[in-house]
């Protein structure tokens, strides 16, 4: 199913629709949003209205869904208890499915799939930790991690990661 | 069946209701079917039974054919039962020998495409009505005497209006007010919208008038402690708090206040000003006498200070007496009006706006007192932090209202009073920059929209956007308001030196307790519940008690005044009669069957404890007895009595059993037997039909007044007669309270059904086949969905399994029913 | 303190790898107060929300569930110094506990590696443990060099406090836990406009300009309020306000010069631990702050 259809299905799903449809466009979400404060094109209230009215294409193909900092101020303050920031995460998932992922995030996702960590363990950090009398970082169990990721439709699942897993099996 | 009437002679009238019924059902065929039923003398069909020709026909048949029972198969009894009852009584037939079959709301309107299944249902409903009718008895309405006086609780503008109207009509009124003075919220206001009348100037004369009437007894600084009795005959007990000042001697000179050493925040000034322990709340207070607040006084026992008495003695009035005690005042009234008003939400709960933390964030009522020339600042609007005149004010609307986190409802008057306050501010301070942050502007009455326009013309800025937060600049005490401005689609931060919040109106403190004292209910939001939201906004579920003003829900002054007069009118309907008639669908206890009559040592009293209206009493060693005037007709006691000693008139066990039998006569395993309470669930089912929500025609309804009436015997008989599923549905019962028209009927129904379900499961009947649901009168959609769901599950279980389970349980059910129900009434299915 | 105070220590990728001095400072502090921290073996990134939750919920829940199950095996609650990890693990924990469908899905994934989520442990953050478990009184007793006269602007960040139905540390609109932890050192917490504003850090790799514009708001307000320094409790906020401060200044042609300290760093200083021992790296010089503190700077 195309991501756009999924959003439609999401928005038309009775429970979800009920939860979103109660939005009366008060604007508290946008009013407290740190991103909207500095970037006028980013407007959670308008995004929500677009979903309710069925205009998802633009949202899924733009970069805007990736700008939410997940500060959750909108979720805390919405008088209709709409979990706006959670909705944005759903939209991100759907955008990711259609290939709309910022490159740096994809890099990081791949690194997690290949090493289990979001940042590479640098030489400097090894030395540093020694100096601070900290034990070396316990290595992540990459095998287990990869088995989990292999079973999901994780966009960061790379060729390399696949090869690592296959290598292990044989 | 009443033997004095001889054998039943039943007339059945099937209404077409234009095409409303005839469009789906073959009314002629239905009439023909009805004529085949035993004891039916005549069965006719006609286009509009409620219209004159229809009624004339009925009356003709009663006279000429000697009919002693009449059935009309048409719309809902909630619609036209009174119409036809009147019709038959005009022909000399007792109105309680009439029954309706609901083949419109419960059949033609909700089963438009069900074809034969709809026909079958209509036939069953008619047969059920006929079966019940055979067993009906003539009933006489109960007459009670009427005390020609009324109690009005609450001396705000609504209560005052009610009191004045009743007084004008010549009735004695007792006006009870909790505060030292009447006047309520309106006395606290400066000007009223949209005319900008001075509030106390227009209210003052009414306050004085009501206090001077010969037939109005004003009991200020008092509270209603206890109410017993019933419509026309309420016994009221009021406690007047000790005021320590003799009102006949006090001349309100104020010398006592001057010397009192205690200062406490002044409630009248919304906490902005101070008052002494001995005080009068405001200059125009009625009654004007001063009051000593013993909670804040330094001490009376032992006496800690006597400065006020010394000053009073010196002045010559000698009005202060520290030995005062609470006064108990008892009297009888015929009706009661509750007009206790509203409170405001504590704005500090809405933490994002900083009330209570930032000094320059204030509430609307505080601003109201500030603007008022007689207020704590002499009419000057100043910033609390430094006393300076503000240069820019931001108003924030919907603080706690329309908000699932606090109050889901709209408080109704805040848009208007904020506009009013903004206009006043602009008038006093022309250079003041005013911004109002709102979600919607609700200006829906005469002159309101024009007033809004005027405000905009004056240069007041309206910003559509609910502010996310208010933050303080610590160096200046100014506030920064962060909001989206939907006009521009951009966020903004507005620096203001004063922020005013419009917080939600909430039910008065003590509303719950008062409701319990009076045996009336509150709605889901805590305000007093009206009997019907559209057609009976002033009546309550308890006969003779009325509500008016913001106690019923936040409203502005004209609405409150109108409701005050309306309440007086509703009360006068009763007070103007020598005798008041009460519907006789009351319960009655058999002296022979009540355990208290048979065994002097019995300690049952179950019926006494179940009755929320205290209508049943049991003297030791005597059978319990129902006071028919107090009985509201729920039937809960009937179902709860373990000795089967109680009957409810017009809803007897036999009558209901006969209905069940007819409804399950054919293919019972495919049927859902539904017991719906008159006030909520039956009305909800009606609404489903009115709204044309379609649902399966497998449901068969039995109407009871209350879900509390649904005896477990009915449910067991249903399964014994082969029912597929049984539904018991009543008024909403949630953790927050009960909407039950009879207060607690649904609570007992719940306990009973849940226990019964376990028992039935033990007998082999799957628990899911007995459903307990709460459907309100507004939930037509929900009812339709419920039946769809139940029908689906019914089909999923399958007729075979149902027959199997029923067969397995039957011996047990028969055994249990034989103990309690007259055997002749059960027909083995 | 009552029952045993032993936790499974989950430093998280950023702290353990990019800012180990946070780990060192937190560990030292916690262990001084008798908290035992047991190393977790084989954990992965919590996983971080932007690169994982944003890309796929199943993957996120699976990896988080796996980390939680490691703690369950150890039979210890998780304690983490990173609010991001705290939020992720606590949210995942709550989701798996309360949502049977999600739990089923996650356990299906976990079963592939012989694991199962059993809802046996909880998740804590250093701030929570300092405030609730150790308590202000005990901390006050350990202060050797009161920081009186120091004016501190406290920044809570977002993930410690929201969504409040999950995190449960403090009121997100008017929090006071961290202010009190700061004031127990003798310093004064300075009020400033829009204290609860997000740092903008999470989107810095996606849109630097927007991210820095958000950081700028806080820096301006803190400067306006006349604070001597800004205190943070999160590695991401630390990077945003300290590491990136000069870049923000450059982007907007402004100067803020706001020294940024970590909350456990401040506490350590007040307890007499030297800057050398603490080993924090600061991009924005903290000399002026240290001058105000009478503790040995070494």
| Distance (Å, whole) CA B405 – CA B560 | 28
Query: C212-231 pLDDT, tens per residue?
Result: 999 999 999 999 999 999 99
| Phi and psi at residue B752, to the nearest 5° | -65, -45
Residues C165, C243, single domain; the answer is yes
pLDDT tops 90 at residue B111: yes
Nearest to C194 among B357, B475, B482 (CB): B482
pLDDT band of residue C196 (cuts 50, 70, 90) is very high
Q: What is the predicted pLDDT for the residue at B823?
A: 44
- Answer with the one of C93, C108, C126 that is the final residue of a domain: C126
pLDDT tops 50 at residue B683: yes
Q: What is the predicted pLDDT for the residue at B804?
A: 95
Would you call B471 and C194 a contact, using CB atoms and an 8 Å cutoff? yes
The count of domains in chain A is: 2
Instruction: Report the percentage of chain B scoring pLDDT > 70.
Output: 98
Would you call C225 and B357 a contact, using CB atoms and an 8 Å cutoff? no
pLDDT tops 50 at residue B825: no
Q: Positive or negative CA dihedral for C17, C22, C27, C30?
A: negative
Residues A39, A21, single domain; the answer is yes
DSSP annotation string for B117-166: HHHHHHHHHHHHHHHHHHT------EEEE--SEEEEE--SHHHHHHHHHH
Put simply, whether A140 touches C (Cβ < 8 Å) is yes
Instruction: Report the percentage of chain B scoring pLDDT > 90.
Output: 86
Angle subtended by helix axes B77-90 and B681-690, to nearest 10: 100
Interface of chain A toward chain B, CB-CB under 8 angstroms: 24-33, 36-37, 40, 43, 45-46, 73, 77, 79-81
Nearest to C54 among A73, A89, A119 (CB): A89
Residue numbers in C near A28 (CB within 8 A): none
Residues C231, C253, single domain; the answer is yes
Domain B142-241+326-341+509-582: which CATH number of 3.40.47.10, 3.10.290.10, 3.60.20.30, 3.50.50.60: 3.50.50.60
Residue C78 belongs to a domain with what CATH number? 1.20.1050.140
Q: Which residue has the higher pLDDT, A122 or B381?
A: B381
What is the model's pTM? 0.87
Nearest to A109 among C52, C201, C213 (CB): C52
What is the value of ipTM here, to two decimals? Answer: 0.93
Q: What is the predicted pLDDT for the residue at A2?
A: 67
Nearest to B474 among C171, C191, C196 (CB): C191
Report yes or no on C298 lying in a domain: no
pLDDT band of residue C3 (cuts 50, 70, 90) is low
Would you call B398 and A43 a contact, using CB atoms and an 8 Å cutoff? no
Least confident range from A33-42, B538-547, B693-702: namely: B538-547
Q: For residue A44, give how far its alpha carbon lies from the nearest alpha carbon of chain B (Å).
A: 11
pLDDT band of residue B534 (cuts 50, 70, 90) is confident
Report yes or no on C240 lying in a domain: yes
User: Rg (Cα) of chain B, in Å, rounded?
Assistant: 32
Helix, strand or coil, per DSSP, at residue B586: coil
pLDDT tops 50 at residue A170: no
Show which subunits contact C, needing at least 3 CB pairs below 8 angstroms. A, B
Q: Region B390-407: what's the mean pLDDT?
A: 97
Put simply, whether A156 touches C (Cβ < 8 Å) is yes
Give the H or E element holding residue B73. strand B69-74
Q: In chain B, where does the domain assigned CATH 3.50.50.60 lie?
A: 142-241+326-341+509-582, 343-506
How many H-runs (helices) and E-runs (strands) does chain A carry?
Answer: 12, 0
pLDDT band of residue A158 (cuts 50, 70, 90) is confident
Distance (Å) of CA B643 to CA B145, B597, B623, B627, B638: 33, 12, 12, 20, 10
Q: What is the predicted pLDDT for the residue at B793?
A: 96
Place of tokens 């850090």: C201
Q: For residue A36, give how far its alpha carbon lies from the nearest alpha carbon of chain B (Å).
A: 7
Residues A84, A133, single domain; the answer is no
Report yes or no on C187 lying in a domain: yes
Q: For residue C248, give how far its alpha carbon lies from the nearest alpha carbon of chain A (Å).
A: 14
Q: What is the predicted pLDDT for the residue at B734?
A: 82
Residues C116, C154, single domain; the answer is no
**Which chain B residue's Cα is nearest to C217?**
B493
Give the H or E element holding residue C6. strand C6-9
Report yes or no on C206 lying in a domain: yes
Put simply, whether B480 touches C (Cβ < 8 Å) is yes
Beta pairing partners, C7: C37, C77
Residues A7, A89, single domain; the answer is yes
**Which chain A residue's Cα is nearest to B397?**
A26
Helix, strand or coil, per DSSP, at residue B676: strand
Q: For residue A40, give how far its alpha carbon lies from the nearest alpha carbon of chain C (Å).
A: 11
Q: For residue A98, give how far its alpha carbon lies from the nearest alpha carbon of chain B (Å).
A: 29
Residues A89, A125, single domain; the answer is no
Residues C30, C113, single domain; the answer is yes
Residues A13, A83, single domain; the answer is yes
Other C-beta atoms closer than 10 Å to the C-beta of B663 total 25
| Distance (Å, whole) CA B194 – CA B192 | 6
Residues C117, C141, single domain; the answer is no
Residues A93, A107, single domain; the answer is no
Q: What share of chain C is helix, strand, coil (3-state, %, to 5)?
A: 50, 10, 40
CATH code of the domain made up of B651-829: 3.40.50
Pairing verdict, β C260-262 and C229-232 = parallel
Site from C44, C53, C88, C159 to mutate, A interface, most A CB atoms within 10 angstroms: C44
Beta pairing partners, B98: B70
pLDDT tops 50 at residue B828: no
Report yes or no on C144 lying in a domain: yes
Query: B300-322 pLDDT, tens per residue?
Result: 989 999 999 999 999 999 999 99
Q: Which residue has the higher pLDDT, A70 or A152?
A: A70
Report yes or no on C297 lying in a domain: no
The count of domains in chain C is: 2
Site from A22, A23, A24, A27 to mutate, B interface, most B CB atoms within 10 angstroms: A27
Residue numbers in A near C63 (CB within 8 A): 112, 145, 148-149
pLDDT band of residue B245 (cuts 50, 70, 90) is very high
Other C-beta atoms closer than 10 Å to the C-beta of B236 total 23
Contact assessment for residue C57 and residue C133, using Cβ atoms and an 8 Å cutoff: no
Q: Which domain holds residue C168?
A: 135-292
Report the first-to-last Cα separation within chain B, whole angstroms.
23
Other C-beta atoms closer than 10 Å to the C-beta of B792 total 11
Report the first-to-last Cα separation within chain A, whole angstroms.
34
Q: What is the predicted pLDDT for the residue at A169?
A: 59
Q: Region B156-179: what's the mean pLDDT?
A: 98
Q: Region B350-370: what's the mean pLDDT?
A: 97
Distance (Å) of CA B801 to CA A125, B37, B669, B724: 70, 32, 9, 10
Residue numbers in A near B484 (CB within 8 A): 27-28, 30-31, 36, 43, 45
Residues C93, C237, single domain; the answer is no
pLDDT tops 60 at residue B229: yes
| Distance (Å, whole) CA A29 – CA A79 | 10
pLDDT band of residue B817 (cuts 50, 70, 90) is confident
Residues C239, C193, single domain; the answer is yes
Can you name the CATH fold of B587-637+639-646?
A: Alpha-Beta Plaits (3.30.70)
Dihedral, CA atoms, B502, B504, B505, B506, nearest 10 degrees? -150
Residues C177, C285, single domain; the answer is yes
Nearest to C192 among B469, B474, B482 (CB): B474
Domain B343-506: which CATH number of 3.40.50.10790, 3.40.50.300, 3.50.50.60, 2.60.40.10: 3.50.50.60
Q: In chain B, where does the domain assigned CATH 3.40.50 lie?
A: 1-141, 651-829
Query: B19-71 pLDDT, tens per residue?
Result: 999 999 999 999 999 999 999 999 999 999 999 999 999 999 999 999 999 99
Residue numbers in B near C226 (CB within 8 A): 475
Would you call C203 and A69 a contact, using CB atoms and an 8 Å cutoff? yes
Q: For residue C67, give how far its alpha carbon lies from the nearest alpha carbon of chain A (Å).
A: 10
Angle subtended by helix axes B799-820 and B745-763, to nearest 10: 110
Q: Which domain holds residue A116?
A: 103-169
Contact assessment for residue A111 and residue C202, using Cβ atoms and an 8 Å cutoff: no
Would you call B491 and A30 a contact, using CB atoms and an 8 Å cutoff? yes
Would you call A69 and C41 a contact, using CB atoms and an 8 Å cutoff? no
Query: C232-278 pLDDT, tens per residue?
Result: 999 999 999 999 999 999 999 999 999 999 999 999 999 988 888 88
| Distance (Å, whole) CA B554 – CA B688 | 29
Query: B69-106 pLDDT, tens per residue?
Result: 999 999 999 889 999 999 999 999 999 999 999 999 99
Residues C229, C166, single domain; the answer is yes
Residues A111, A157, single domain; the answer is yes
Interface of chain B toward chain A, CB-CB under 8 angstroms: 352, 398, 402-405, 439-440, 464-469, 482-484, 486, 489-491, 493
Instruction: Report the percentage of chain C scoring pLDDT > 90.
Output: 83
Report yes or no on C193 lying in a domain: yes
pLDDT tops 90 at residue A10: no
pLDDT tops 90 at residue A12: no
Q: What is the predicted pLDDT for the residue at A9?
A: 65
- What residues contact B463, with CB distance under 8 A and at least 6 apart? B435, B436, B437, B438, B483, B485, B486, B487, B492
Average pLDDT, chain B: 94
Nearest to B466 among A27, A36, A73 (CB): A27
Which is nearest to B713 in space by CA: B818, B568, B605?
B818
> Does the B1-141 domain belong in CATH 3.40.50?
yes
Would you call C173 and B469 a contact, using CB atoms and an 8 Å cutoff? yes
Between chain B and chain C, how many beta carbons pairs sit less than 8 Å apart?
A: 25
86-115 in A: which are within 8 Å (CB) of C?
89, 92-93, 96, 101-102, 104-106, 108-109, 112
How many H-runs (helices) and E-runs (strands) does chain C carry?
Answer: 15, 8
Contact assessment for residue B451 and residue B420, using Cβ atoms and an 8 Å cutoff: yes
Residues C120, C188, single domain; the answer is no
Residue numbers in B near C225 (CB within 8 A): 474-475
pLDDT band of residue B601 (cuts 50, 70, 90) is confident
Would you call B468 and A31 a contact, using CB atoms and an 8 Å cutoff? yes
Residue numbers in A near C43 (CB within 8 A): 138, 140
Residue A79 belongs to a domain with what CATH number? 1.10.1060.10
Residues A85, A132, single domain; the answer is no
Token duo for residue B539: 């009546």
Residues A92, A108, single domain; the answer is no
Q: What is the predicted pLDDT for the residue at B166?
A: 98
CB-based burial, C132-156: b 16+ in 10 Å, e otherwise: ebbeeeebeeebebbbeebebbbbb
| Distance (Å, whole) CA B296 – CA B613 | 38
Q: What is the predicted pLDDT for the residue at A31?
A: 97
Residue C157 belongs to a domain with what CATH number? 3.40.50.11810
Largest CA distance in chain C: 57
Distance (Å) of CA B489 to CA A156, B484, C211: 36, 7, 21
Report yes or no on C1 lying in a domain: no
Contact assessment for residue B129 and residue B101, using Cβ atoms and an 8 Å cutoff: yes
């Amino acid at each position: 199913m195309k991501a756009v259809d999924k959003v439609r299905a999401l928005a038309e799903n009775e429970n979800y629709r009920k939860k979103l449809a109660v939005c009366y466009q008060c604007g508290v979400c946008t009013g407290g949003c740190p991103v909207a404060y500095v970037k006028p094109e980013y407007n959670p209230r308008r995004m929500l209205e677009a979903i309710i009215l069925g205009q998802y294409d633009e949202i899924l193909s733009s970069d805007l869904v990736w700008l939410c900092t997940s500060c959750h101020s909108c979720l805390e303050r919405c008088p209709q208890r709409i979990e706006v920031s959670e909705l944005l995460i759903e939209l991100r998932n759907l955008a990711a499915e259609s290939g709309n992922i910022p490159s740096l995030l994809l890099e990081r996702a791949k690194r997690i799939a290949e090493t289990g960590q979001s940042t590479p363990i640098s030489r400097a950090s090894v030395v540093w930790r020694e100096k601070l009398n900290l034990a070396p970082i316990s290595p992540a169990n990459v095998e287990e991690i990869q088995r989990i990721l292999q079973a999901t439709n994780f966009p960061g699942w790379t060729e390399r990661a696949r090869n690592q897993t296959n290598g292990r099996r044989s | 069946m009443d033997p004095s009437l001889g054998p039943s002679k039943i007339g059945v009238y099937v209404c077409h209701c234009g095409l409303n019924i005839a469009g789906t059902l073959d009314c002629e065929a239905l009439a023909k079917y009805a004529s085949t039923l035993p004891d039916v003398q005549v069965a006719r069909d006609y286009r509009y039974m409620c219209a004159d020709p229809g009624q004339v026909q009925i009356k003709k048949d009663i006279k000429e054919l000697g009919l002693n029972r009449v059935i009309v198969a048409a719309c809902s009894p909630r619609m036209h039962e009174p119409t036809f009852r009147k019709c038959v009584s005009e022909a000399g037939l007792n109105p309680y020998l009439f029954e309706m079959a609901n083949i419109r709301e419960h059949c033609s309107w909700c089963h438009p495409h069900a074809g034969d299944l709809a026909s079958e249902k209509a036939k069953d409903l008619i047969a059920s009505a006929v079966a019940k009718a055979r067993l009906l008895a003539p009933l006489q309405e109960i007459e009670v005497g009427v005390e020609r006086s009324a109690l009005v609780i609450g001396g705000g503008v609504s209560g005052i209006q009610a009191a004045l109207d009743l007084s004008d009509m010549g009735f004695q009124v007792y006006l009870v007010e909790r505060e030292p003075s009447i006047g309520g919220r309106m006395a606290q206001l400066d000007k009223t919208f949209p005319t900008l009348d001075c509030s106390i100037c227009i209210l003052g004369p009414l306050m004085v008038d009501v206090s001077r009437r010969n037939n109005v007894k004003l009991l200020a600084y008092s509270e209603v402690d206890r109410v017993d009795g019933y419509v026309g005959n309420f016994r009221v007990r009021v406690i007047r708090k000790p005021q320590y000042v003799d009102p006949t001697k006090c001349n309100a000179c104020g010398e006592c206040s001057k010397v009192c050493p205690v200062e406490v925040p002044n409630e009248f000034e919304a906490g902005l000003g101070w008052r002494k322990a001995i005080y009068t709340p405001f200059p125009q207070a009625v009654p004007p006498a001063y009051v000593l607040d013993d909670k804040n006084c330094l001490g009376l026992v032992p006496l800690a200070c006597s400065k006020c008495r010394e000053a009073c003695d010196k002045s010559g009035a000698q009005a202060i007496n520290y030995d005062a005690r609470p006064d108990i005042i008892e009297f009888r009234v015929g009706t009661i009006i509750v007009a206790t008003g509203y409170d405001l939400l504590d704005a500090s709960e809405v933490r994002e706006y900083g009330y209570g933390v930032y000094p320059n964030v204030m509430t609307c009522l505080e601003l109201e007192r500030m603007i008022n020339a007689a207020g704590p600042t002499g009419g000057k609007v100043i910033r609390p932090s430094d006393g300076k005149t503000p240069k820019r004010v931001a108003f924030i609307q919907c603080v706690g209202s329309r908000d699932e986190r606090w109050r889901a409802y709209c408080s109704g008057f805040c848009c208007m009073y904020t506009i009013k306050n903004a206009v006043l501010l602009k008038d006093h301070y022309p250079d003041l920059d005013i911004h109002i942050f709102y979600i919607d502007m609700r200006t829906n009455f005469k002159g309101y929209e024009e007033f809004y326009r005027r405000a905009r013309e004056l240069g007041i800025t309206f910003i559509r956007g609910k502010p996310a937060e208010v933050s303080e600049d610590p160096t200046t005490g100014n506030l920064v308001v962060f909001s989206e401005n939907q006009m521009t689609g951009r966020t903004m931060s507005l620096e203001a030196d004063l922020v005013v919040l419009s917080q939600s109106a909430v039910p008065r403190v003590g509303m719950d307790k008062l409701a319990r004292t009076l045996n009336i209910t509150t709605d889901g939001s805590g305000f007093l519940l009206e009997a019907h939201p559209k057609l009976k906004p002033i009546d309550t579920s308890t006969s003779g008690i009325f509500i008016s003003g913001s106690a019923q829900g936040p409203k502005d002054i004209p609405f409150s005044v109108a409701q005050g007069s309306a309440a007086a009118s509703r009360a006068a309907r009763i007070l103007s009669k020598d005798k008041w008639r009460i519907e006789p669908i009351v319960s009655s206890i058999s002296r022979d069957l009540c355990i208290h009559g048979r065994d002097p040592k019995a300690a049952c009293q179950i019926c006494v404890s179940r009755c929320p209206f205290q209508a049943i009493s049991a003297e030791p060693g005597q059978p319990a007895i129902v006071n028919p005037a107090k009985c509201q007709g729920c039937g809960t006691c009937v179902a709860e009595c373990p000795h089967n000693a109680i009957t409810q008139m017009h809803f007897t066990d036999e009558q209901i059993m006969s209905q069940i039998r007819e409804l399950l006569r054919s293919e019972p395993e495919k049927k859902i037997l539904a017991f719906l309470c008159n006030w909520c669930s039956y009305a909800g089912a009606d609404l489903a039909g009115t709204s044309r929500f379609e649902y399966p025609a497998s449901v068969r309804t039995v109407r009871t007044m209350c879900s509390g009436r649904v005896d477990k015997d009915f449910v067991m008989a249903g399964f014994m007669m082969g029912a597929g599923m049984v539904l018991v549905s009543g008024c909403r019962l949630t953790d927050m309270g009960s909407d039950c028209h009879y207060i607690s009927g649904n609570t007992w129904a719940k306990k009973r059904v849940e226990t019964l379900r376990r028992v039935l499961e033990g007998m082999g009947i799957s628990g899911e086949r007995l459903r307990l649901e709460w459907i309100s009168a507004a939930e037509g959609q929900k009812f339709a969905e419920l039946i769809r769901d139940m029908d689906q599950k019914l089909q999923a279980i399958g007729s075979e399994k149902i027959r199997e389970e029923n067969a397995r349980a039957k011996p047990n059910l028969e055994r249990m029913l034989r103990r309690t129900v007259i055997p002749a009434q059960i027909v083995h299915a | 303190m009552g029952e045993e105070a032993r936790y499974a220590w989950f430093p998280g990728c950023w702290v353990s790898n990019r800012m180990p001095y946070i780990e060192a400072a937190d560990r030292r502090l916690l262990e001084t107060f008798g908290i035992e921290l047991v190393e977790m073996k084989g954990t992965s990134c919590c996983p971080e929300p932007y690169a994982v939750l944003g890309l796929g919920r199943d993957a996120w829940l699976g990896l988080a569930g796996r980390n939680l199950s490691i703690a369950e095996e150890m039979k210890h609650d998780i304690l983490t110094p990173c609010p991001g990890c705290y939020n992720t693990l606590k949210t995942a924990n709550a989701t798996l506990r309360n949502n049977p469908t999600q739990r089923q899905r996650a356990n299906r994934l976990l079963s592939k590696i012989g694991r199962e989520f059993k809802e046996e442990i909880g998740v804590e953050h250093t701030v929570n443990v300092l405030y609730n478990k150790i308590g202000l009184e005990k901390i006050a007793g350990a202060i050797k060099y009161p920081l009186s006269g120091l004016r501190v602007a406290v920044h809570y960040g977002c993930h410690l406090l929201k969504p409040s139905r999950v995190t449960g540390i403090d009121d997100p609109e008017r929090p006071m836990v961290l202010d009190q932890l700061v004031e127990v050192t003798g310093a004064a917490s300075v009020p400033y406009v829009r204290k609860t504003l997000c740092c903008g850090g999470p989107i810095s790799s996606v849109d630097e300009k927007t991210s820095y514009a958000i950081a700028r708001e806080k820096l301006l307000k803190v400067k306006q309020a006349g604070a001597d320094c800004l205190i943070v409790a999160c590695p991401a906020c630390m990077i945003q306000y300290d590491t990136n401060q000069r870049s923000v200044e450059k982007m907007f042609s402004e100067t803020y010069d706001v020294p940024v300290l970590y909350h456990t760093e401040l506490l350590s200083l007040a307890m007499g631990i030297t800057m050398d021992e603490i080993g924090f790296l600061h991009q924005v010089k903290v000399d002026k702050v240290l001058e105000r503190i009478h503790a040995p700077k070494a």
